[in-house]
């Protein structure tokens, strides 16, 4: 049986979510999903992820009282995965 690292699977999940965020942003901008992801779409995804993380927990807690849209759900899931990756790396160093 081949060795598989749990961290590799979680990192792959993070990359899939990042791609889904880029696709969602492209769709919301009116770009057909059949086209490949451009550098602009990837940069927009990175910017959205950064803004979501920088927004802070207080603002996100206030948003808990209203439903999240599909993009916000992806961003929240991405943040959760990134926190899991950080926890896994911290445990390995500890």
The 10s digit of each residue's pLDDT in 17-72 is 999 999 999 888 887 766 678 888 899 999 999 998 887 655 555 556 667 789 98
33 vs 26: CA distance, rounded Å: 7
Statement: the pTM of the whole predicted model exceeds 0.85: no
Burial call 45-54: b when 16+ CB within 10 Å, e when fewer: beebbeebee
Provide the H-helix boundaries in 29-69: 39-55, 57-63
Residue 74 is part of which domain span?
6-93
The verdict on residue 1 lying in a domain is no
The verdict on residue 40 lying in a domain is yes
4 vs 21: CA distance, rounded Å: 27
The verdict on residue 32 lying in a domain is yes
The verdict on residue 67 lying in a domain is yes
Q: Exposure of 24 by Cβ count < 10 A (0-12 exposed, 13-18 middle, 19+ buried)?
A: buried
The verdict on residue 17 lying in a domain is yes
What's the number of domains the chain is made of? 1
């Amino acid at each position: 049986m081949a060795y598989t690292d749990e961290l590799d699977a979680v990192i792959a999940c993070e990359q899939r979510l990042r791609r889904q965020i880029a696709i969602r942003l492209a769709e919301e901008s009116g770009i057909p999903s059949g086209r490949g992801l451009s550098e602009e779409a990837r940069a927009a995804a990175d910017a959205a992820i950064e803004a979501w993380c920088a927004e802070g927990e207080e603002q996100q807690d206030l948003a808990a009282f209203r439903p999240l849209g599909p993009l916000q759900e992806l961003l929240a899931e991405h943040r959760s995965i990134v926190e899991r990756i950080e926890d896994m790396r911290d445990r390995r160093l500890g």
